[in-house]
Chains A and B, each alone.
Chain A
Amino acid sequence: MEAYYLEATPKTPRLDFNPDADTFVISGRSIPENSIEFYKPLLDWLENYVSNPKKSIIFEVKLEYFNTSSSKCMVEIFRKFEKIHSAGHELTVEWYYDEEDEDMQESGEDFKDIIKVPFKMIQNKD
């Protein structure tokens, strides 16, 4: 299975999903007009990955901010990870946020509340 990698743009995040790595990363900002169009290839990739995942994976979310339509897609991504987790694999989401950024912290808490995988809130160090 090939890695799924995208560079960041002013409106879309960097996506780093390498099936051989222990860590997946999404970072930057996510404010595309059409979030479904942007996230569909990643969701397809994850759907394939779910059938043969690694034993232990960390998903790092290092977003500066995202729009509400991206948040719906984020839920879909987390749902794939729920599948991996419920199949008995170790999976942890790490949600990074700046100390003064109560909005990103709050968003993390929102997902943590509704997603059924271990979910760590991590404050960025300067």
Chain B
Amino acid sequence: MINTKEQYKQQKKSENLLLGYKGEITDNLTSSLLSLAESKLAMVEYNSRLKKKVFHILVEVLQNIYHNYNDMLKAPDNYQEVFLMIVREDKSYNIVAGNYMQQAHIQKLKQRIDQVNAMDPESLRAKYRIKLDEGEFTEIGRAGLGIMDMVRKSGQPLEYDFLSVDKEYSFFSLKINIQYK
């Protein structure tokens, strides 16, 4: 069970933490975080394929959070806090993210992740192509592709959990492990 807030506390002083962010998110901030992540990765990672993979998945994670952030602007201030970490381990990277969301959205998201997690690479590819071919541009369509993309590029299921914080909101934790191949 992943809990991003706990991870953040644990990793805060760790030298494995390549990048850690806790706070609100805006268009400008996503850009700054991405360019910071990119220069940090450039400093420590010589495997260009892996570097690109980590960055690419980070883009999807961050933009998924950003696109769903509109819903959160009506929420209490402390629920507008977003967590993001890149943790460098011996043989892999972890992207760990956390954000609050309305409980009304949880069921759908959970279903979608479980579905994608359960697919083998072949059926995931087929499903991705069908979604892409449909071409319709909805928030749901975008989120769907994003999750599939994360699983395809990392080659592993997403680790996640929801923690209820009050009647209306939950905290969503997400962890993606990207390994050297």
Which residues of A are interface residues toward B (Cβ below 8 A)? 10-11, 31, 33, 36, 64-65, 67-69, 71-72, 75-76, 79, 100-103, 106, 110-111, 113-114
Contacts and interface: CB of A to CB of B under 8 A. Distances in A.
**Majority SS at the chain B contact face:** helix
A116 B59 CA distance: 29
A72 B56 contact: no
A79 B31 CA distance: 30
B90 interface: no
A68 B55 CA distance: 13
Contacts of B129: 110, 113-114
A64 B38 CA distance: 14
> Interface residue tally of chain B, by bracket?
20 to 34
Contacts, number: 61
Given A10-B31, A67-B60, A72-B145, 12 more contacts: A11-B31, A11-B34, A33-B27, A68-B146, A71-B132, A75-B132, A75-B133, A76-B135, A103-B56, A103-B153, A110-B128, A113-B129
B30 interface: yes
Interface of B: 27, 30-31, 34-35, 48-49, 52-53, 55-56, 59-60, 63, 66-67, 125, 128-129, 132-133, 135, 137, 141-142, 145-146, 149, 152-153
